[in-house]
Chain A
Amino acid sequence: MKTAYKYASILLMVALAACSKPAEQETDENVAVTNKEVTETIELNIYSARQEHLLKPLLDKFSANNGIKVNLVSGRADALLQRLESEGKNSEADVFITTDAGRLHRAKEAGVLQSIKSQSLTSKLTAQMRDPDGYWYGISQRARPIMYVKGRVDPTQISTYEQLADEQWKGKICIRSSGNIYNQSLVASMIESNGEEATEAWARGLVANLAREPKGGDRDQIKAAVAGECDLVVANTYYLGGMLTGEVEQDRVTAEQIGIIWPNQNDRGAHINVTGVGVTAASKNMDVAVQFIEFMLSEEAQSHYALENVEYPVINKVAHSDTLKSWGEFKADSLTLSRLGELNADATRLMDRAGWK
């Protein structure tokens, strides 16, 4: 037993030693080699609400292109924002990536981002895809259209989000819970367009039409529809694309039976949202951070989104993947995306009032 304690205490020492030097813990071997050749290692630290596996290929490319070592922490958006806020001016993060314009807006309001005025950046993006003051820039966009089960629904019968509340869809709609940010921003966009009162009435109508209590993620709604539990689904194209190109045979078969209806093409357009990136107020590597954003908006990075991730790129020059092409062109809602963030809390409360679980 004595020896066991000895080992335990040695272990503890090792652990404490390991703790004190976390940053050097790991790095891709080839990058480390490159770094040794440079006299001073240039590093870029990223806090990202996007999952690691979605970003990793791009980060590797960025490192390879520029010889910059990239360090990443991925996590839940709001928690990372809290971390960024608490760490204040000493934060080591240079760049903050998060899904949803609402979060980007919140980060801007919290004062953790800094304004980047760059002609090369602004020229690449439409005004909608970036913060007017340059606090954040969109790097990919996703659409949240209505989906239907082919053969079971005539897609001409519904052409707007508003019609989801119509009597004829009673018991035929699946949508995830109101706790989800995608739904919150969809509702926010409707408040912006139709006003709070009309939207609340609409939300009540939608809740009354639900085939089941909201549960699961977007993929679960799609699966439930194909299995016959409902006919219409509101979900992000990204998830449908993931199913179509994923490794699970059954998912592919399921997703193939789903068709897409681009809503509100005759008025404001389909609901979209962005994933964006901003330079942190604490960044000590502003040049590298801007370099990174420029890379993310390069054709190379953007086509990765279009081809590998089945997301919509934010620049026009990039070719769409076959999957994206198969869904056709659409008109996107042109509201200022930061409005989604401003209206997010109102949207959440509205859904609570409407009984949207």
Chain B
Amino acid sequence: MSSTTLSDKTWWLPSGNRGWSISSVLIALIISIPLLVVISFLFQPSNENWQHLWDYLLTDYLRNTLILSLGVAFGVLLIGISTAWLTSMCEFPGRRWLSWALLLPMAIPAYIIAYTYTGMLDFAGPVQTTLRQLFGWQATGYWFPEIRSLGGAICMLTLVLYPYVYMLTRAAFLEQSTCALEVSRTLGKGPWGSFYKVALPLARPAIITGLVLALMETLADYGTVQYFGVNTFTTGIFRIWFGMGDSVTAAQLSAMLLLFVFFLILMEKYSRGRARFHHTSTKYNQIKRIELNGWRAALACFVCLLPFVLGFLLPALQLSVWTAITASSSFNADFVRLFSNSLLLAIIAAVIAVSLALVLAYSKRLVATPVAKTAAQTASLGYALPGTIVAVGVIIPFAWFDNAIDQWLRDNFNFSSGLLLSGTLFALLFAYTVRFLSVSLQAVDAGLQKIKPGMDDSARSLGLKPFGVLTKIHMPMMRGTLLTALLLVFVDVLKELPATLILRPFNFNTLAVRAYEMANDEKLALAGAPALLIVLAGIVPVILLSSVINHARAGQQS
């Protein structure tokens, strides 16, 4: 889009705030480039591989993807909501530390948890071997749950993805007016009835946001399902591409995945209808946590402890054991650089993603045109694409751009610029932004919506320009939200593998890359140290994040 079209055709822009509209549309367009590249493959003629897909694979892929998605959805909702409710509304021993410990599994990459559990639970692993020795079982003829299965993949993904639902739902519960729950109690609904009929529906936007994030991650997952031998839509994309060398059909499958996610998001928006979820009340009573005693307290404790132990403690222990075994060859000077590379990338990517999210969300607030809304919506689709596909979507236009500039310079000035953007950290950071903007945008958007429009009006009447309103009013008010968004992207980038692998510049390695290369070479034990460090680097922000949520209720201690 050229600038003339923008300034000449402004019928779709309300007057004023034009700069904001234009920048949001521009950002959305630029962020959408990789997606458009992928979607453009839909218009390429399909080839004979489609017939093959159709005949032998697609039913299986779709079935597995559907079951996987439903299973993960069920799992993350069950764990996420129940633990969010218990830690925000009930009092039981250990609640305080569990409320942040429950976030920790987020720091573990899905493929890493898959490796650790396989190491522990496989037929040849310590658990089964011990059981066989203990009870004198034969190799066959006893039943043991197979970890490398569709069910296993559901469990693994659930364990590392439920924190999205937990985190957002808990924040929603803490921000809910307790009056609404009390009203429900006086109308004859018990604590559980009130939970189902009031608290849960009110937390719906938060729950759905968490669920969407978890499902998009699930659809994008390649490492776990591939390792477990579960054929999903995403493994199908790679099978077609890697196995048959057909990048066109692979991109077409990716485009279909994108359209599917877009459809899901639209469905959700539509189903909300006229209902609103923000509170009509402005008064926040101190939450009176229900004191649990005896077996109830024990049960609550168990319910919250289980996801933490399974999703974090056991895998981290396994990683520690591996690290201990390989300590001598794992830790060297190189390792410090891996660590600092990972941190630096994650921090920069987080700042970029949150800044862009602020611009997009704020322009949507300033000028709620369908264009602005669609811009924000489109820009966040990248989260559902496997990292490798996003990377290809980045490589193609960047290389095209670089080569075009180079050609032009050669033709006109007899000078070669070579590759300007391809193979730079800029390309990598761009890919991260495409992939994770959704995460920051969801958080920032939700945060902005909590600020009443009257606040903007009064600030404007006091002489602030829109930018001033954003920096002087909104950003300080949303401190917690911004920090949440920053940390979410930070942790995600820290774990990111496929795009990093392909797009990074020469000699640039990260912890995730090291962990993957070791694991891919089937040297799991050597993958332990970098994986453990990813987890450790992720823990700090996760703990920070938790204290942010705890203070979500204005000026209140949790």
Is there direct touching of A and B in the complex, by C-beta distance under 8 Å? yes
User: Which positions in A face B, CB cutoff 8 Å?
Assistant: 1, 5, 8, 11-12, 15, 18-20, 22-23, 25-27, 45, 51-54, 71-80, 82-83, 86-92, 106, 176-179, 181, 184, 212-220, 223-224, 226-229, 239, 242, 246-248, 251, 254, 344-345, 348-349, 352-353, 357
Chain B residues with CB below 8 A from A77, complex form: 242
Closest to A228 in B: B139
Is B242 touching A220 in the complex (CB atoms < 8 A)? no
Other CB < 8 Å A-B pairs besides A76-B502, A90-B418, 15 of them?
Answer: A11-B348, A12-B351, A15-B348, A19-B425, A71-B506, A73-B508, A77-B242, A82-B502, A87-B395, A177-B229, A228-B139, A242-B521, A247-B325, A248-B325, A254-B124
What 8 A-B pairs have minimum CB-CB distances, sorted nearest first? A228-B139, A215-B229, A71-B506, A223-B124, A86-B399, A227-B124, A22-B505, A51-B517
Asked if residues A179 and B239 are in contact (CB atoms below 8 Å), the reply is yes
Secondary structure dominating the interface of B: helix
B329 touches A (CB below 8 Å): yes
Choose among B235, B388, B504 the residue that contacts A76 (Cβ–Cβ < 8 A). B388
Q: Given A22-B423, A25-B505, A52-B509, are A11 and B351 neighbors across the interface (CB < 8 Å)?
A: yes
Is the Cβ of B392 less than 8 Å from the Cβ of A79?
Answer: yes
CB-defined A-B contacts under 8 Å, sample of 20: A22-B506, A22-B508, A25-B508, A51-B521, A52-B513, A54-B521, A74-B501, A77-B242, A86-B396, A86-B422, A87-B395, A87-B403, A176-B229, A178-B243, A220-B522, A223-B124, A227-B124, A247-B526, A349-B244, A357-B231
**Contact yes or no, A11 B402, CB < 8 A:** no
Kindly provide the distance from the CB of B373 to the nearest chain A CB, expressed in whole angstroms: 27
Q: Quick one: closest B residue to A89, CB to CB?
A: B403
Q: Does B91 contact A (CB under 8 A)?
A: no
Whether B244 lies near A242 (C-beta < 8 A) is no
CA distance A252 to B523 in the complex (A): 13
B525 touches A247 (CB 8 A): yes
Task: Please measure, in the bound complex, the distance between the C-alpha atom of A162 and the C-alpha atom of B406, giving whole angstroms.
Answer: 54
B242 & A181 in contact (Cβ 8 Å cutoff):
yes
One of B391, B418, B423, B517 near A79 (C-beta < 8 A): B391
Q: Is the interface of A mostly helix, strand, loop or mixed?
A: helix
Q: Chain A residues with Cβ under 8 A from B124's Cβ?
A: 220, 223-224, 226-227, 229, 254
A-contacting residues, B418-468, CB 8 Å: 418-419, 422-426, 429
Given the interface pairs A51-B520, A218-B522, the reply to whether A348 lies near B424 with Cβ below 8 Å is no
B128 contacts chain A at the CB level, 8 A cutoff: yes
**B475 in complex: contacting residue of A5, A15, A19, A92, CB < 8 Å:** A5
Q: Are A216 and B229 within 8 A (Cβ)?
A: yes
Which residues of A sit under 8 angstroms from B329, Cβ to Cβ? 247
**Which residues of B approach A to under 8 Å, CB–CB?**
52, 56-57, 118, 122-124, 128-129, 138-140, 146, 148-149, 226-229, 231, 235, 238-239, 241-247, 325-326, 329, 337, 344, 347-348, 351-352, 355, 388, 391-392, 395-396, 398-400, 402-403, 406, 416, 418-419, 422-426, 429, 471, 475-476, 479, 498, 501-509, 513-514, 517-518, 520-523, 525-526
Q: Quote the shortest CB–CB distance from B131 to chain A (angstroms).
A: 12
Nearest-Cβ distance from residue B470 to partner chain A, whole angstroms: 11
Chain B: minimal CB distance from A4 (Å):
9
Q: Smallest Cβ distance from B246 to chain A, in angstroms?
A: 7
What's the minimum C-beta distance from B544 to chain A, rounded to whole angstroms?
13
- Contact in complex: B504, A73 (CB < 8 Å): yes
A242–B519 Cα distance when bound, in Å, is 13
Write out the residue numbers on chain A whose beta carbons fall within 8 Å of the beta carbon of B129: 227
Q: Chain A contacts of B418 at CB under 8 A?
A: 90, 92
Given A8-B351, A352-B52, verify A73-B244 contact (CB < 8 Å): no
B522 to chain A, nearest CB (A): 4
Q: CA–CA, A227 to B132, complex, Å?
A: 10
Please tell me if the beta carbons of A72 and B507 are within 8 angstroms of each other in the complex: yes
B325, B391, B425, B518: residue with the most chain A Cβ atoms closer than 10 Å: B425
Check if B501 sits within 8 Å of A242, measured CB to CB: no
Contact partner, A19, options B238, B429, B522, Cβ 8 Å: B429
Q: Inside 8 A of B525's CB, which chain A residues have their CB? A: 246-248, 251
- A179 and B517 within 8 A (CB): no
Contacts of A82 in B (CB 8 A): 247, 392, 395, 502
Q: Which residues of chain B come closer than 8 Å to A214, judged between CB atoms?
A: 229
Question: CA–CA, A23 to B504, complex, Å?
Answer: 11
Q: Are B139 and A216 in contact (CB-based, < 8 A)?
A: no
Q: Given the complex of chains A and B, what is the CA–CA distance between A178 and B57 in angstroms?
A: 13
Which of A22, A71, A353 has the largest number of chain B CB atoms within 10 A?
A22
CA distance A25 to B510 in the complex (A): 14
Q: A91 to B163: give the CA distance in the assembly, Å.
A: 41
Closest Cβ of chain B to A99, distance in Å, is 11
CB-defined contacts of A217 to chain B, threshold 8 Å: 227, 522
